[in-house]
Chain A
Amino acid sequence: GQQLNQSPQSMFIQEGEDVSMNCTSSSIFNTWLWYKQDPGEGPVLLIALYKAGELTSNGRLTAQFGITRKDSFLNISASIPSDVGIYFCAGLRQNFVFGPGTRLSVLP
């Protein structure tokens, strides 16, 4: 079946550092989404990507839809403490598939 892999599973970074995480699959997707989830809350959509090769920014966040349509990455520049949380990628073809998440910790 369709599965998404996210790496790294978790990361600890210093405040101010840039962050890079990615999402890969053996299947092709038509849409890629990136969500952030804070403890005790529902996921919040950060960025949506609809075309292969598309590069989209949302403030300090930048995400790209891979050319092969089998991957996507998310970058966060100049991390701050409130970036802490779990970042999920999701792909859409005929239905939604979510990755297992990348847990980000930011050290002051």
Chain B
Amino acid sequence: DTGVSQDPRHKITKRGQNVTFRCDPISEHNRLYWYRQTLGQGPEFLTYFQNEAQLEKSRLLSDRFSAERPKGSFSTLEIQRTEQGDSAMYLCASSLGGAYNEQFFGPGTRLTVL
């Protein structure tokens, strides 16, 4: 247990539905990251927060995706109008920042879109 929690751990939804995932980082970490991982691939960066500010979004994050981190604590990732191609593991990580980029990952949320 790294101290980063994600909820739910598994989500099955039908195409076209909206889904929302939650990430609770380690409390003193000011940086929070979302990654997506498909089968056989390494995690791919989606977006990054420093405190409550979303500082970058990957081109992988289409306009159907939105992430928030109100008050710089937990974060949510919402996918609207899900597509089968959205099926993946969604990973959240947090870090203290600073010179070294040691990120602590949560267990992930596995999304299956039918």
Asked if A and B are interacting partners, one says no
Q: Give the interface of B toward A (CB within 8 A).
A: none
